[in-house]
């Protein structure tokens, strides 16, 4: 297989990591909305943790992106 083609496939596979981040975001916001629905008074306090959690979850997808870019450099 051509090295460039393999690199392109590898980059595509690295993008699969976004799926995990998507699941994470879904779980995060789903649970957050559930929690706020149960305890609307805690919204302000929860919002802080939601955004922090979002940044963490999002970062996971971006690690995949970095990997893709690294592969791009190796091609």
Q: Which is nearer to another protein, 7 or 35 (CB)?
A: 7
Contacts by 67-73, CB closer than 8 A, 24 or more apart:
67/14, 67/17, 68/10, 68/11, 68/14, 68/15, 71/7, 71/10, 71/11, 71/14, 72/7, 72/11
By CB under 8 A, residue 46 contacts another protein: no
14 counts as binding another protein under rule CB under 8 A: no
41 vs 55, which CB is nearer to another protein? Answer: 55
According to the binding rule CB under 8 A, does residue 73 interact with another protein?
A: yes
Instruction: Choose, by CB under 8 A, the member of 4, 16, 41, 45 that binds another protein.
Output: 4
């Amino acid at each position: 297989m051509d090295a460039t083609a393999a690199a392109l496939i590898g980059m595509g596979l690295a993008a699969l990591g976004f799926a995990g981040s998507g699941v994470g975001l879904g779980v995060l916001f789903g649970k957050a909305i559930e929690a706020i629905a149960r305890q609307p008074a805690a919204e302000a306090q929860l919002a802080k943790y939601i955004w922090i959690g979002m940044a963490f979850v999002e970062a996971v997808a971006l690690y995949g992106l970095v990997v893709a870019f690294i592969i791009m450099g190796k091609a």
